[in-house]
């Protein structure tokens, strides 16, 4: 596996950048190229192409770096060349043996490069799989972000709806509080009006009762006046009867004094006429009092009137002049 034979790309980059950092600040391009190629090829088993070296050094062009790399490979071959010091062997044999060792090294190097290519292919496949996984993860992440955006939008809508509902609830609560205050105000006002109506009814009842009592008193007073008038009328009628009886007795017993009795009769008749006139006046006043009493009894809304003060009728007697019959 590549994880067992090769270091990670991040570790290789850190090691190469650390080595470049140890060079002098004004080190030439060729020295940096050889250092990077040596580290990549000999220590990390990475083929140092011009593009890879340029990615680490960030100095020079691809043409200059390829030239530096050719010198690096030539110098490396010279260092790897085998020198056999065997004086007892012919020179041709030692040269052939040295060339054979170089070929063996080249074969080993080629095999190493082939294995490295296989590892690179495997790494590329793993990278492709990793990229596919990353793409799938990116797609899933994008879908999750879209779902999250949708959920956030729904949450915002829900929050706005909740805030609107809370505002409506607050408005309804304020309206309910206002209605409750109005209801309490109307209840207080209704209670006050009911109390005022009750007080008015009680006052009206008291006034009505007082008016009824006063009307009863007036009725009793009118009845008393009527009885008094009737008594006066009866007294006048009694006086008239007495006068007639006396006149009859005097006319029957005293024929001699006919003229005198006639005069007295004339006077009595005059008195009787006055009595009749007064009786008619008393009857008229009694009828007026009865009509007034009926009006007072039939009145729905009592009206307090000042009672009419009338002088009581005094009983009177028919003046009769008594004369001696002698």
pLDDT at residue 271, rounded to an integer: 82
pLDDT at residue 251, rounded to an integer: 64
Contact 318, 243 (CB under 8 A): yes
The gap from C-alpha 214 to its chain's centroid, in whole angstroms, comes to 63
Residue in the structure block whose two tokens are 């290789």:
12
pLDDT at residue 85, rounded to an integer: 56
pLDDT at residue 43, rounded to an integer: 82
pTM of the model: 0.30
- Alpha-carbon span 85 to 42, nearest angstrom: 27
φ/ψ of residue 193, rounded to 5: -65, -40
pLDDT at residue 260, rounded to an integer: 73
pLDDT at residue 308, rounded to an integer: 47
Q: What is the pLDDT of residues 241-294, one digit of tens each?
A: 887 887 777 666 666 666 776 777 787 788 888 888 888 888 888 888 888 888
pLDDT at residue 230, rounded to an integer: 84
Distances (CA, A) of 300 to 209, 211, 212, 217, 292: 13, 11, 11, 17, 15
Low-confidence ranges of the chain (pLDDT < 70): 1-7, 80-95, 97-99, 101-102, 105-106, 108-110, 112-113, 115-116, 119-120, 250-258, 261, 300-326
Question: 57-85 burial by CB neighbour count: b if 16+ within 10 A, else e?
Answer: bebbeeeebeebbeebeeebeeeeeeeee
């Amino acid at each position: 596996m590549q994880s067992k034979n090769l270091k990670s790309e991040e570790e290789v980059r850190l090691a190469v950048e650390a080595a470049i950092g140890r060079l002098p600040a004004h080190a030439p391009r060729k020295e940096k190229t050889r250092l990077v190629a040596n580290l990549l090829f000999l220590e990390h088993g990475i083929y140092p192409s011009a593009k890879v070296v340029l990615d680490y050094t960030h100095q020079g062009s691809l043409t200059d770096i390829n030239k530096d790399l050719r010198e690096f490979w030539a110098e490396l071959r010279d260092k790897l060349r085998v020198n056999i010091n065997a004086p007892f062997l012919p020179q041709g044999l030692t040269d052939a043996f040295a060339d054979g060792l170089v070929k063996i090294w080249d074969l080993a190097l080629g095999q190493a490069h082939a294995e490295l290519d296989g590892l690179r292919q495997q790494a590329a496949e793993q990278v492709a799989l990793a990229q596919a996984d990353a793409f799938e993860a990116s797609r899933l992440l994008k879908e999750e972000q879209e779902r999250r955006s949708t959920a956030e939008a729904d949450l915002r809508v829900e929050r706005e709806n909740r805030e609107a509902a809370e505002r409506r609830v607050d408005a309804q609560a304020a309206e309910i509080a206002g209605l409750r205050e109005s209801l309490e105000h109307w209840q207080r006002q209704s209670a006050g009006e009911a109390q005022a109506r009750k007080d008015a009814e009680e006052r009206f009842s008291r006034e009505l009762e007082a008016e009824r009592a006063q009307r009863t008193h007036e009725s009793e007073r009118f009845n008393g006046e009527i009885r008094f008038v009737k008594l006066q009328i009866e007294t006048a009628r009694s006086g008239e009867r007495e006068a007639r009886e006396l006149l009859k007795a005097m006319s029957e017993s005293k024929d001699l004094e006919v003229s005198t009795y006639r005069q007295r009769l004339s006077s009595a008749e005059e008195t009787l006429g006055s009595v009749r006139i007064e009786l008619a006046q008393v009857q008229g006043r009694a009828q007026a009092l009865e009509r007034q009493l009926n009006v007072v009894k039939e009145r729905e809304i009592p009206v307090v009137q000042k009672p009419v003060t009338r002088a009581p009728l005094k009983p009177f007697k028919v003046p009769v002049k008594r004369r001696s019959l002698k």
